[in-house]
Amino acid sequence: MAEPAKPQILLAEEAIARCRTLAGFSENSTGLTRTFLSPPMHACHQAISKWMQSLEMLVETDAIGNLRGVYPGLSERRLIIGSHIDTVPNAGAFDGALGVMIGLALVDGLARQRLPFEIEVIAFSEEEGVRFAKPFLGSLALVGGLNLEGAMAQAVRDFGLDPERIDEAKLDASRVIGYVEFHIEQGPVLEEVDLPLAVVAAIAGQSRFAVTFTGAANHAGTTPMRMRRDALAAAAEWVLAVERTALVTEGLVATVGSIEALPNAGNVIAGEARVGLDVRHQADEVRLTAVKQLLDEAAEIGLRRGVGVAWSERLNQATVQMDADLIALAERAVPFKMVSGAGHDAMILAAVVPSVMLFVRSPGGVSHHPDETVRAEDVAAAIGAGLSLLQDLAKRYN
Ligand code: GLV
Ligand code: MN
Ligand code: MN
């Protein structure tokens, strides 16, 4: 039975308040950090399950820890709306979580109306790649692209799930009419063009590597400078080389965002330095050429300094185009398109189902930071665009 629809601004304010509630479920008391299947993920699931159940959704957790709620429809067809609920360390409240909360707001906005398809809202357990230096674990399980073993399988068991059931997380793509992901833009473009929303045309490809420099730990006071094999100095030289390469390559972004020195003591020359490399470009060949050049440079620096260099690839994700048909449908409500520099679950889902994303303006272009925020009017506009998209799809599948 249809009931009066809630005003979109109220749905938006509720979605924002819920993101702030979820931000309270953290691994520490000083900010928001909620990595893959960490203890606070239990409280997060509990809250989201309750909200889903209040919308008559059937809720399950799959073997990789994705929380999945299905709002029944008039056929077996299914539309998926989702994003992730893991975070980077010291995160903001909206990266990922907003997409899930908008999914619930859309179901709420239907006011109990049944559509000619089910709506599955998925809160992906892992997208950021923080805990195991490998991103997209939640969405990879849906496309059958996840090999669950070792420490990762143990993390699943520790959370109370069964890694042996990972195959059950896989999508039956033949039933799925599309995947829609709402996400904050995480950059300055929408603010610059003074628009609340964008349709994402493509998501830039990315490479990630773990790189280890191995030198010789020794006494900082007694080892002459010319007799050192300083792993941290070698890594530092390379970090600047990475920045230099990105600065002179149009459209390339390259980042060393993590570094760990061993034994990490002020009076010991570092014997080992472990760093993380992240390289992105819209054109895959530019990205792959840059990666090769950067790794060659690391090897050259190591050779010159007597420091061993080894790397392991953690991600080689090509640029992904969003679905042209869903873009055209979304553009009816959102007449502005852009490319995403950030990675998203849609990148993985797009391999098996038509996928599209809508970006919500990020005030100040700030993200991966506690100051990350959104405007209620922009979220209301996103909900309005989402409801239009649902009604357009309903007409098509009626
Ligand atoms: C996801 O946040 C990414 O790093 O692109
Ligand atoms: Mn993120
Ligand atoms: Mn995100």
pLDDT of residue 25: 98
Percent of the chain at pLDDT above 70?
Answer: 99
Distance 220 CA to ligand 2 centre (A): 38
Q: Is 66 exposed, middle or buried (0-12, 13-18, 19+ CB in 10 A)?
A: buried
Measured distance CA(153)–CA(159) in Å, rounded: 10
Mark 286-313 as b/e (b = at least 16 C-beta within 10 Å): bbbebbeebbebbeebbeebebbbebee
pLDDT of residue 166: 97
Q: Give mean pLDDT, residues 102-118.
A: 98
Query: What is the sign of the dihedral through the CA atoms of 116, 140, 16 and 202?
Result: negative
Mark 186-221 as b/e (b = at least 16 C-beta within 10 Å): bbebbeeeebbbbbbbbbbbbbbbbbbbbbbbbeee
pLDDT of residue 145: 87
Selection from 73, 70, 71, 130 nearest residue 96 by Cα: 130
CB-based contact 80:118 (threshold 8 Å): no
The band of 351, judged by pLDDT with boundaries at 50, 70 and 90, is: very high
In the chain, what are the domains?
8-204+319-397 (3.40.630.10), 205-317 (3.30.70.360)
pLDDT of residue 373: 98
Residues with CB under 5 A from ligand 2 (ion): 95
Q: Give mean pLDDT, residues 242-256.
A: 98
Q: Of the residues 207, 208, 339, 368, which should be mutated to test ligand 1's pocket, given the most ligand atoms within 8 Å of the CB?
A: 368
Check if 372 has its Cβ closer than 6 Å to any atom of ligand 1: no
Check if 343 has its Cβ closer than 6 Å to any atom of ligand 1: yes
pLDDT of residue 83: 98
Check if 278 has its Cβ closer than 6 Å to any atom of ligand 1: no
Atom of ligand 1 lying closest to residue 278 CA: 4
CB-based contact 218:316 (threshold 8 Å): no
The band of 4, judged by pLDDT with boundaries at 50, 70 and 90, is: confident
**Bridge partner list, 70:** 58, 120
Measured distance CA(91)–CA(370) in Å, rounded: 5
Is the confidence at residue 216, as pLDDT, over 70?
yes
Selection from 220, 208, 211, 209 nearest residue 273 by Cα: 211
Check if 232 has its Cβ closer than 6 Å to any atom of ligand 1: no
Q: What is the pLDDT of residues 142-197, one digit of tens each?
A: 999 898 999 999 999 999 999 999 999 999 999 999 999 999 999 999 999 999 99
The band of 267, judged by pLDDT with boundaries at 50, 70 and 90, is: very high
pLDDT of residue 375: 98
Check if 279 has its Cβ closer than 6 Å to any atom of ligand 1: no
Q: Whose structure tokens read 């055209």?
A: 328
In which region does residue 368 sit, left (phi positive, over 0), alpha (psi from -120 to 50) or beta (all else)?
left
Tokens of 84: 């992730």
Q: What is the pLDDT of residues 320-343, one digit of tens each?
A: 999 999 999 999 999 999 999 999
Q: Of the residues 128, 183, 287, 372, which should be mutated to test ligand 1's pocket, given the most ligand atoms within 8 Å of the CB?
A: 128
What average pLDDT does the structure give for the chain?
Answer: 97
CB under 8 Å to 288, separation ≥6 — which residues? 207, 316
Distance 135 CA to ligand 1 centre (A): 8
The band of 1, judged by pLDDT with boundaries at 50, 70 and 90, is: low
Check if 346 has its Cβ closer than 6 Å to any atom of ligand 1: no
In which region does residue 136 sit, left (phi positive, over 0), alpha (psi from -120 to 50) or beta (all else)?
left
SS3 26: coil
pLDDT of residue 133: 84
SS3 54: coil
Q: Whose structure tokens read 């699931």?
A: 45
Question: How many residues in total does the chain contain?
Answer: 398
pLDDT of residue 3: 77
Mark 151-175 as b/e (b = at least 16 C-beta within 10 Å): ebbebbeebebebeebeebebebee
Q: What H or E segment, with its residue span, contains residue 124?
A: strand 118-124
What separation in angstroms does the CA of 30 have from each of 84, 90, 91, 260, 358?
A: 22, 8, 11, 22, 31
The band of 2, judged by pLDDT with boundaries at 50, 70 and 90, is: low
- Minimal-distance CA residue to ligand 1 atom 1: 343
Measured distance CA(155)–CA(161) in Å, rounded: 9
